[in-house]
Structure 1
């Protein structure tokens, strides 16, 4: 039975799972959802995730939401080194995945809601929320920029799930205008991922096409 993944092709979190699965050679059955039309709030879907959020993975009797948990599950299922090759690396990968959720992605998601979702809905962004987000992003980015000053990847000398998690906010950065450009090592690392990990570039194109369509349908252009 194929592993099902429910999600919107424009979601950076879905991108995290589709990228990791492709790198691990795991075939997924995609159940595409339109978050802008409320597909994740139907009674049927809320049985899978009562929060009404995606992605959600269904593997037989195992139902998981939260992309980080899904990726750890998939990595353990196939014994992938994306979770690290030693106990120390594994803990470092998990550390950065947790860091990403606490210090990083939550603010990128908030900015996406302010500048993209509100735009689609014809609402104005809230300057106080944007200011709060940018202050927190700059604080976290300064730490990450220093960490990446003398290394090519977040953990060790190769790609891991930590890179995929931490890189996710770049999915919409040119639209949300999140201030990543102020941090040169961070920008160089992200470009390196696009240049050396073909599936990361491929999933970026998928997201761009999806969000471009949403904005065009809402009359908001790019």
Structure 2
């Protein structure tokens, strides 16, 4: 049976999973979940993930949520070097994945919720929340920018799961205006991913089509 992935095509979290799967050659059966229509809040979906968030993976009778956990599962199942080419690299990849979840992506998601999610619900953004998120993003971006000053990728000499986890905020950055453009090494690294990792470029097009379509349908211009 194919591995099923439930998620909204506009989700940066789903993007991380579908990109990783494409890089590794793992076949996925996509099941679209429309977050804007509340499809992640139905009893059937909440039985898969009680948080009502996507993506969710179903592999036979095994259900797993959280994108990073799904990617680790797929990488161990498929083999390859997305988890690093050595034991040391593996732990560096894990370090940056945990760092991304704790100190990075959460603030980009918070900004999306304030600047895009609330607008779609007809609510004003809370500027104090945006200021806090921007401060945290700048602090993390400064660390990344220094780290990437003499590196092509986050760990080793090729793309790993660390790159995909950390690159996720770029999925919505031109809509949310988070201050990533202030950090030239970070911008150059993201462009490198788009130019050298076809799956990352393809999933960007999918995210853009989904979110831009939703904004247009709602009559919202950013």
Q: What's the CA shift string for 1:160-198, capped at 9, x where partnerless?
A: 000000000000000000000000000000001011111
The answer for unaligned runs of 5 or more in structure 1 is none
Q: Hey, what's the Cα distance between the residues in 1 that align with 2:118 and 2:156?
A: 39
Match of 1:112 in 2: 112
Match of 2:203 in 1: 203
Moved runs in structure 1, 4+ residues, more than 2 A? none
Q: What's the CA shift string for 1:128-155, capped at 9, x where partnerless?
A: 0000000000001000000000000000
SS at match of 2:82: helix
Q: CA deviation at 1:65?
A: 0.2
| 8 Å CA contact 1:212, 1:221 repeated in 2 | no
Normalising to structure 1: TM-score of the pair?
0.99
Matches within 5 A, 1:58-207: 58-207=58-207
Q: CA deviation at 1:121?
A: 1.0
Match of 2:54 in 1: 54
Normalising to structure 2: TM-score of the pair?
0.99
Q: What's the CA shift string for 1:56-90, capped at 9, x where partnerless?
A: 00001111000000000000001121001211110
Q: What's the CA shift string for 1:92-136, capped at 9, x where partnerless?
A: 000000000001000000000011111111111101000000000
SS at match of 1:63: strand
How many residue pairs match? The answer is 222
